[in-house]
Amino acid sequence: MRKPIISLLLLAAANRCLVGSTNEPGAYIRRYQGVFSRGERSLLASGDANAAWPEEPLDSKGCPKWVNDYVEWHRENRGKPDAKYLVGFCARKHAGKCPGLGDRFRGMEYATKLAMITKRVILFWWDTPAPLETFVEPSDMNWLVTPDLDIDMPKQLNKLWSWQLDRGTGKFPDEYYSERVVTITTNHFDEGNELPGPRFTLVSKASSCLFNALWKPTAAVVERTQEVRQQLLGKGVGDGQYTAIHLRMGHLAGEMYDVNRGWERYKGLLGVVRCAQHYALGGVHDPAMTSISSSGSGDGKDHARALQRTKTRVKEPEKEEEEEEKKSGSSSSSTGKGSLGARSSFSNDNWDFKPPVLLLTDDVVLRTMVADGLFRGFVGPAYVAHHLQRTSDSASVDEHIATFVDLLMLARSKCLIHSASGFSKTAMVWGWPSCETDVKQCMAKHYLHVTGEVPAGR
């Protein structure tokens, strides 16, 4: 009996084993035999999963060569008689496997890397909550599943057998190499660089280059974004001209419960409000406010190092503090002994900045309060945020387009203050704002400048 066309569902629990964890020379070759060229197999035989992709010079946009190389390879091979395809999908039939917006895009970038290293043309196909091309369209790579490719997606999904994947070894079945079409749905990203190929993290310039080579907003999303942004921020405010906040808290349509992201809700809100005020009033980006996600070693100690840098600034010589006070027009008598100079550089009673700060959150109560004008200097849309997967049937396509409007407004800000969220990270990668920080950094910065002390336990 002919074996069915294989579909892989790669969940986080199985991902570590995709290429094996061993450093034994040739381990990658055996797993990818017949996929890499002879030259690439020779390089991989050293046991270095990334040997075939050495450090490369960046182009004028700061993008690595491998992104442009795959774009060109994709263009040349799509539609060829011998082309093989990897289709990233989100299907109503398997809706439980398709998470929220940020998770979906993270998984689709992972699928693209997998397609690249296994010489497949990447394609994407959604039928929930609507076709993907309702929200984004091809940028430099045509990833649409079109009739000329002769790929019957409903038929492919009927053959889904992902639960049969050997999660003990994570090995690709032989059919992965022989079948013309393979499908995948996942929210995994190769953050640990376990796959052969270029090394890059989710929130990185390389990831941003790949993201923008794949997707751009549709005309409907762009038009709606410009309309909402003009209503909120005023006429003439364009890309890269405003500060934005994204707070992942839970309590959006389809997810009416708290989401814990490692910070207390009200303290997080206070912290980001002060950070946003600092940026909106033209404050210089402080290296101590750079988030862990896009800088540092990623070893979990960057937060502590940033706090120490901030604490050092608080204890600068008194003469320098007095000079800072003169520049800001304040005095030590108004700030208190515990925060001489430092508090005046971060705290300010001026909330009449133009344009106002865009504050987006999934929390329906906070979102409504901001839209009603209860936060001076901050604005937000009145429409309710919807979870892409959990309201796939209950919300209209227009309501889901509004979710992409939120995403694009965040992506096109000048300074982005974000929370531990796939949605925030997707905005970061899409727009690559000139300055950014996260909620925990803002909380620590605010606490330090009010009390002169590093928060306990930090």
CA pair distance 21, 23, nearest whole angstrom: 7
Query: Which pLDDT score, from 0 to 100, does residue 95 have?
Result: 66
Query: Which pLDDT score, from 0 to 100, does residue 33 have?
Result: 37
Residue type, 54: P
CA pair distance 439, 62, nearest whole angstrom: 27
Q: What is the pLDDT along the chain (458 residues), one digit of tens a residue?
A: 333 333 333 323 233 333 322 233 333 333 333 333 433 333 333 334 444 556 677 888 889 999 999 999 999 999 999 999 999 998 887 766 778 899 899 989 988 988 898 899 999 999 989 999 999 999 999 999 999 999 999 888 766 544 233 334 445 566 666 789 888 888 878 777 767 788 888 899 999 999 999 999 999 999 999 999 999 999 999 999 999 999 988 767 666 666 776 677 778 888 899 889 888 888 765 655 555 343 333 333 333 443 344 333 333 333 444 454 555 554 433 333 333 333 444 455 678 888 999 999 988 889 999 999 999 999 999 988 888 877 777 788 999 999 999 999 999 999 999 988 899 999 999 999 999 999 888 888 877 767 766 555 54
Contact 436, 424 (CB under 8 A): no
Q: What share of the chain is helix, strand, coil (3-state, %, to 5)?
A: 45, 10, 45
- Token readout for 400 is 């889901």
φ and ψ at residue 280, rounded to 5 degrees? -65, -30
Query: What single string gives the DSSP state of each residue in 192-203?
Result: T--SSS----SS
Reported in sequence order, the residue ranges of 81-143 that DSSP labels E, i.e. its strands, are 85-90, 121-126, 136-138
φ and ψ at residue 213, rounded to 5 degrees? -75, -25
- Beta bridge pairs of residue 181: 85
Query: Which pLDDT score, from 0 to 100, does residue 305 have?
Result: 41
Q: Report the C-alpha dihedral over residues 205, 207, 212, 214, rounded to 10 degrees.
A: 160
CA pair distance 63, 58, nearest whole angstrom: 5
Residue type, 81: P
Contact 263, 439 (CB under 8 A): yes
Q: 456 Cβ partners below 8 Å, 6+ apart? A: none
Query: Which pLDDT score, from 0 to 100, does residue 410 have?
Result: 97
- Token readout for 230 is 């003009």
- Token readout for 61 is 């946009």
Reported in sequence order, the residue ranges of 172-292 that DSSP labels E, i.e. its strands, are 181-184, 215-217, 243-247, 250-252, 255-258
- Report the Cα 94 to chain-centroid distance in Å: 24
Query: Which pLDDT score, from 0 to 100, does residue 259 have?
Result: 72
- Token readout for 39 is 């030259």
Q: Which domains can be identified in the chain, with CATH numbers?
A: 39-216 (no CATH), 219-284+351-451 (3.40.50.11350)
Cα distances from 338 to residues 251, 310, 334, 382, 450, in angstroms, run 38, 15, 11, 41, 8
Q: 425 Cβ partners below 8 Å, 6+ apart? A: 102, 106, 202, 203, 293, 418
